[in-house]
Structure 1
Amino acid sequence: MTSTHTLTHSYYSAFYAEKGFRFLEQIAKEYTLPENLIVFSVMHCYEGSLPYLNVLCQLADRVVFIPKQATFCNNSALLSTIESIENCEIADSAFDKIALRDPTRCIELIREHTREGQDFLILDHGGYFASGAETVLEAFGQQCVGITELTANGVAKYRNRHLMKPLVSVAHLSIKTPADFEASECIVHYTDQILREAFGLKLNNLGFLTIGVIGSGNLGRGVCKTLQGKGIHELYVNDQDPRQLTAMPRNGIQVCTTETMLEKCNLIFCCTGNGALHTSHLQNRQGNLFIATVTSADDELNLPELIESGTLTYIGGNSLVKEYKNQLGASIYLLAGGESANTPFKTGMGDPTLYLFEAAHLLAGLQLATQNHSYASGIQALSVQDEIFIAEQWLRYFYNYR
């Protein structure tokens, strides 16, 4: 059966699109959303988002698509395809991640797309609404049915905020692990590609590059494993939680402080999602430094503040590399412009693990909209039973599990 939905932007991306769409449709089939519900969905501007977006638009009265800037900048042509999806609206580009840090801009966005008294749901990705969450819930307490968050760094931005509504996190589910390791593999692969294209370097150029990894969660461990698979044996790792580091030495990885890493390494993978490197780390740097991130330079380095304070000065660049200099004249090269190192490259549907976390995010939103009474206010995770349900359905659809 061929779908009539807009599942791909180009013919070459069609490999898993239909299968992913049917899987997500199956996850959602027991749920009927309330009439006139508006869904605000922060998403990557990837072709891999299209099956998910189509299912969401079938369920909601309208979906307001808020593209994440990293992939929007490199895939803006995809917006015309997204605009063709029935019941889908694209938020004005002025409502980007930086703008939404201002609570009044969050209010403006919601008022622009809802009628007075109309219910809405926020499916967040990376804590875009975190700074404005308390203001939004105070202004629209009766209308907002809740918030979901996809990423660990996004959840961290919501912590210590007074949330009068439930926020369901799918960031730490075990079924998200395969996609995290897939992402870490891609980030290493594309970092290597960027270095080759822009500098004529390879990751395993012994004598030219010494590599460190800050953060040893799923993404950090995945980066380390993939680097070792490329024959890189001199590898340094740090984490703010020493417990995370105890397994590293037995795997042939040197544990160290961030300061030691900066002395030893000239390529650092930032895998924390939340402040891997600080002003002091970069303003005193004397040698050139390459940085690859798993989220963005705003999250990992607080780049806007570094520029505003004069710690870093922008020199130039393109989608592959942006160069900054510190006051000592050292060049800081942000690979992929400071975004996740696989964002300059096309992402299709060939990896079905992406549908695991999309299904979890979708299911969390559906439950908030239809079973709001079963959730308390504040941050909580999707249930183990729901996670098992998603895993079983996924194994059936993609791997004939019975």
Structure 2
Amino acid sequence: MTSTHTLTHSYYSAFYAEKGYRFLEQIAQTHSMPRNLVVFSVMHCYEGSLPYLNVLCKLADHVIFIPKQATFCNNGTLLNTIQSIPNCDVVEPGFDKIALRDPVRCLDLIQQYTQEGQAFLILDHGGYFSQGVEAIFEAYDEQCVGIAELTANGIAKYRNRHLIKPLVSVAHLSIKTPADYEASECIVHYTDQILREAFGLKLNNLGFLTIGVIGSGNLGRGICKTLQGKGIHDIYVSDQDPRQLTALPRNGIQVCSTETMLEHCNLIFCCTGNGALHSAHIQSRRENLFIATVTSADDELNLPELVQQGTLQYVGGNKLVTEYQNRHGASIYLIAGGESANTPFKTGMGDPTLYLFEAAHLLAGLHLGSQSHSYAAGIQALSAQDEIFIAEQWLRYFYSYT
């Protein structure tokens, strides 16, 4: 791999970009991709994605970049920079998240960007290909080498699909935990910033805001910890699995059902990635409610259906807040339009934890692409040995670990 690459969109992003690129390049050098391989990569439209994308484009014959909708909407000009990377094509607008829910459109996408008999790999992020996966595997049995999925909510979307090819998950690796906690810290920070900018509110305005957290995985627990660091201690947490809640009361957190939370809270962080709030929760609300998510309003609220069935009516908003009203006239304010609350803002490359999960996603793709693996059909995790390898390389590279 040569050193010519496009790592930044603006001058001020350059501080850590080269370092992240070199680390991912180091991981990539452990395997080689087959010639003439096409990679379909679902990725955030962040400058922080550029080092990873550049490494992919050095490995594959062609990379088809499919921008995550939330960050694409806020960083559309970045697509010109991405388009300038050799071997990289930005997918046509007709192949977005909504379109790919149709298996026929998934097949159209594959057909448009691959030649007959050409092998391809899917690096998914959030289950974009989950509803078309069976059609893809059936139509392209010889060409598709497999799928690597980055997120837990993405894996949940693939869970009940009939998979005749391997799908490698990096969603629940221990090395992803630092990045999850970093993300939760960012989400709290930017929720606070948006509330200040749009409403003149602060998260720790006692008497104005009471906060609930739905989901007590890494992100939910990280949000609780960050809130407590801001002096907020009246926090309600719910989870579908009561086992996840048992450690929280000893940390001064009120555990409850989601219904109880809605009786007490007017700001809720949705941290499940898969239906935190249902139509009945929104429909029965009689007081205004702020909602921040760690994924999207599609995943956490099924927002398109709420609007289509008339449960919510769009009122207005901007890139910081979108307002809907339910049938009782209660306003439902979606922080960052219902996308992860840090999406309206620049994400820098100076947080090395970002490269841990990118390295895992990359390595899973390398295994699948090189076909030097023992993966069976269906969902499986990256191996413990691979995880240890990434952790050691990361510690050595960024922190002089010996």
Q: TM-score range by the shorter chain?
A: over 0.9
- Name the CA distance, whole Å, in 2 between partners of 1:4 and 1:143: 30
SS in 2 for 1:216: coil
- Could you report, residue by residue, the CA deviation over 1:161-195 in whole angstroms, capped at 9, with x for unpaired residues? 10010000000000000000000000000000000
Provide the residue aligned with 1:72 in structure 2. Answer: 72
Q: CA deviation at 1:3?
A: 4.8
- Could you report, residue by residue, the CA deviation over 1:270-308 in whole angstroms, capped at 9, with x for unpaired residues? 000000000000000000000000000000000011001
- 1:341-360 to 2 correspondence within 5 Å? 341-360=341-360
What's the C-alpha RMSD, in Å, of the aligned pairs?
A: 0.9
Structure 1 counterpart of 2:227, which letter? L
Provide the residue aligned with 1:125 in structure 2. Answer: 125
- TM-score (normalizing by structure 2): 0.99
- Name the CA distance, whole Å, in 1 between partners of 2:367 and 2:233: 46
- Name the CA distance, whole Å, in 2 between partners of 1:15 and 1:239: 39
SS in 1 for 2:35: coil
Please tell me whether residue 49 in structure 1 is matched to residue 49 in structure 2.
Answer: yes
Provide the residue aligned with 2:178 in structure 1. Answer: 178
In structure 2, relative to structure 1, the CA distance for the partners of 1:283 and 1:108 (3 Å cut) is same
User: Are the equivalent residues in 2 in contact too, given 1:293–1:338 (CA < 8 A)?
Assistant: yes
Q: CA deviation at 1:30?
A: 2.2
Provide the residue aligned with 2:370 in structure 1. Answer: 370
In structure 2, relative to structure 1, the CA distance for the partners of 1:51 and 1:400 (3 Å cut) is same
User: Are the equivalent residues in 1 in contact too, given 2:24–2:355 (CA < 8 A)?
Assistant: yes
- Name the CA distance, whole Å, in 1 between partners of 2:4 and 2:17: 12
Structure 1 counterpart of 2:379, which letter? I
Provide the residue aligned with 2:329 in structure 1. Answer: 329
User: Are the equivalent residues in 2 in contact too, given 1:273–1:295 (CA < 8 A)?
Assistant: yes
Provide the residue aligned with 1:111 in structure 2. Answer: 111
- Name the CA distance, whole Å, in 1 between partners of 2:341 and 2:101: 24
- Name the CA distance, whole Å, in 2 between partners of 1:49 and 1:78: 11
- Could you report, residue by residue, the CA deviation over 1:177-218 in whole angstroms, capped at 9, with x for unpaired residues? 000000000000000000000000000000000000000000
- 1:238-277 to 2 correspondence within 5 Å? 238-277=238-277
Structure 1 counterpart of 2:362, which letter? L
Provide the residue aligned with 1:163 in structure 2. Answer: 163
Provide the residue aligned with 1:33 in structure 2. Answer: 33
Structure 1 counterpart of 2:151, which letter? T
Please tell me whether residue 390 in structure 1 is matched to residue 356 in structure 2.
Answer: no
Please tell me whether residue 100 in structure 1 is matched to residue 100 in structure 2.
Answer: yes
- Name the CA distance, whole Å, in 2 between partners of 1:93 and 1:335: 25
Structure 2 counterpart of 1:309, which letter? Q
- 1:269-308 to 2 correspondence within 5 Å? 269-308=269-308
SS in 2 for 1:73: helix
User: Are the equivalent residues in 2 in contact too, given 1:321–1:335 (CA < 8 A)?
Assistant: yes
Q: How many residues align?
A: 401
- Name the CA distance, whole Å, in 1 between partners of 2:373 and 2:76: 39
- TM-score (normalizing by structure 1): 0.99
SS in 2 for 1:268: strand
Q: CA deviation at 1:371?
A: 2.4
Q: CA deviation at 1:336?
A: 0.1
Structure 2 counterpart of 1:184, which letter? S
- Name the CA distance, whole Å, in 2 between partners of 1:302 and 1:172: 24
- Name the CA distance, whole Å, in 2 between partners of 1:290 and 1:3: 46
- Could you report, residue by residue, the CA deviation over 1:366-391 in whole angstroms, capped at 9, with x for unpaired residues? 00011255110000000000000000
SS in 2 for 1:89: strand
Q: Segments of 4+ in structure 1 off by > 2 A?
A: none
Between stretches 93-102 and 220-229, larger displacement belongs to 93-102
User: Are the equivalent residues in 2 in contact too, given 1:7–1:17 (CA < 8 A)?
Assistant: yes
- Name the CA distance, whole Å, in 1 between partners of 2:361 and 2:178: 15
- Name the CA distance, whole Å, in 1 between partners of 2:93 and 2:128: 14
- Name the CA distance, whole Å, in 1 between partners of 2:298 and 2:93: 18
User: Are the equivalent residues in 1 in contact too, given 2:367–2:373 (CA < 8 A)?
Assistant: no
In structure 2, relative to structure 1, the CA distance for the partners of 1:312 and 1:102 (3 Å cut) is same
Q: CA deviation at 1:5?
A: 1.0
Q: CA deviation at 1:116?
A: 1.0
Between stretches 230-239 and 25-34, larger displacement belongs to 25-34
Q: CA deviation at 1:160?
A: 1.1
Provide the residue aligned with 2:361 in structure 1. Answer: 361
Identity of aligned residues (%): 81
What are structure 2's unaligned runs of at least 5 residues?
Answer: none
